[in-house]
Structure 1
Amino acid sequence: MQVMVTSTDGDQVAQITVEPTQQLGSVGPQLQQQFGIPANAQVLMLNGNPLRLDQTFEQAGVKEDDLLVIMRNPSAAPAAARPDILTAAGFTTRPGMKLHDIPANPTPEVLLDIMDKNPQLLVELQQVNPKLATALQTKSVSDVRMALMQMHMEAASRKFEEQQENEALERNPFDAEAQAKIAERIRLSNVQKNMEIAIEEMPEAFGHITMLYIPCEVNGTQVKAFVDSGAQSTIMSSSCAERCGIMRLVDKRFAGQAVGVGTAKIIGRVHMASLKIGNEFYNCSFTILDQQGVDFLFGLDMLKRHQCCIDLSKSVLRLHEGDSFHEVSFLPEHEIPTSENRAASAQPPATIDGVPVPASTPGSTPTSAAAVPTPPPAPVAAGGQSDQEKIAQLVGLGFPEQRAIQALQTCNGNVEMAAGLLFESM
């Protein structure tokens, strides 16, 4: 029968032919040639469970086309003596590096050194690989190693799935469904290449853009106004109007429904109130919404009335009155209302039309380990019986329960990958 064997990082995959009555240990020399792991230091795992090498394949429950994971027994040699698959030999970190300068298989120590000398890379990395960026921000070698191992596990899983899919496509390449899958793969490959080029040529497109706010006073109450030239009317929330003491001026004859990206109830309109911007006073009208998202939105109606100019080169709002004008600076990021910062900090999942963005695509150049987008892991439910069994399996291998739970969460509940991750992080 045919059995697939893969390394924990997914870089090596081998197919071997065995007999059901053959002992697992008998393939040790063959696997040593394929994976470079001495026969006496090999550990074979099936579905997250280590197999006894004195058992036959049939006794171990190995069936046709099963996938075995091979790894080095951590007790066979001290950690310092084992070769590190993430070594970047001869690499020297330096200031001014870009993401594509990071080697493909860096050690956690090398990555931390790179980020220490190039802190600007963390901003770019947060966009393409937020989990690795979060691990690097902790400055913990073990956390970074865990994140890197997760990337290798996901790459191994994707590689195996791609291989299975390729074999299915080769069996019937002219099938309509197969053609659709090939077309989708080509599309995703082009999208990935386009994103890689954009990251290099215009990384600012992946950065966080702060919205434009100005400090002002409404009826003597300090408010931060969101300047939005795309909004037809100047809007204020009902709670902000209460604080400013202008709810008594609301004309409810102008009640209605505001329609834009969403809908909101219009309570009414304040026809005129005092608005102080900088040292100048202006008359301003407000549409009052029964919505608490933004306190005060300075819309196009007042921008046009006061002949405002949004000067992004100086980062100021310029207001004209006749031949005179005065300027007010936009608020820096740390002074922007916290609700805006929270909304902007939410990261979208690394998917395209619901399909996880691939780490690499056929025919494309290799991407550095740091620049591989990764989809967020699905949390492991603590109460499910199957999850408790997985945790028990990992604890039975000698790992602490908390680390077992963390590894399962990192590997989306895949006990086999979690075991490999824990073994490699020892």
Structure 2
Amino acid sequence: VCDHGRTRITIQIIAPNHQLDQELLNLDLPSELSVGDLKSFVTAETQIPQTAQQFFLNNQALQDDAKSLDDAGVKDGDLIAMLMSRPPQNNMGGQRRGPQQGTARRGPANNTEEIETTRLSILSNPGAVNQIREQRPALHAAINDPNRFREIWLEMVREDSDRDRERQEQMRLLNEDPFNIEAQQKIEEMIRQESVQENLQFAYEHNPEAVIDLRQNKLIFGDGNDVPFLGEADLPKFSEDAQAAEPTIKGPNGTEIGAKSGTIQPAGTSAAAASSSSAAKHSDSFQGQGQTLGAGASSSRPVSAAPGAASGAGAPSSAAAVGHSKEKIEQLQNLGFSQQQAVAALDACDGNVEYAAGLLFQS
């Protein structure tokens, strides 16, 4: 909780070619402090001269140094942008960074002798070697090859120069017209994107969320935990084994339905179905007894029948004898199956046309 009469603010430094560029300063100051006093605090923290500081609050410049923070509209929790209009050549503000971090920053070396001196200096410093390994893997891979090291170094210098030129152009627009809302918004978006990219790069280099190891077929997380996964060649067999081990529920007339997948298995495809089919052979009430898809009546069908069975040859069709509607048979025929196959499937599924279609496609 903030004390009464005090204001906590965050200063974002915009200083091209300066080591403190994009740094954030968190300050807890008395609200009656003037804008000029705020510049003094920033100078004490960063060594940036007061004459080079220009503050912006909500895209509006804070011009009067004599105004208090309250009178200037600064409220608790505000973010103030501090533009360094003329960045000095000697970046004294770099002292705020740790010595190890300063070692990882690339200097202005851009000729063969300076780059080679830098390479040898890194090799002589185990701490610098470890830091280069973590932050610049490509540079570390070429640490023992002077020519390759120089190529990668020059490429990084070019990338830095391009980014610096872009920032300087944006800062030039801001200096020309600090009240141009469109220019302010572009600069704000540029700063936001750079911050996001820096955060992503830091997370990638220091705290990767997860890494896929294709050799071990594992998903390895940053905390050391890993989750194995199946390789592409193992998926078909895994699917077959899963289907074979899946619990089933009994369907009509010996068929089985997967409890999870809903897959319809024809009668006789499993031990349970086989036993059900065997029992059905001794039951006169089993519909479709002796029928197989794509074939006529089995030769093992009982010869004895009802007295009127002999005259059944004059019936219009087997469908009418079993009692299946013409519409159901036509639906299955429209799927590409014969009338005999459709009748047999309907017999096996108690006339359920959906189950019958699934049974036909599974066969």
TM-score (norm 1): 0.25
Q: Hey, which of these two has a bigger chunk of strand by percent?
A: 1
Larger helix proportion, structure 1 or 2? 2
Could you state the TM-score of these two structures normalised by the residue count of structure 2? 0.29
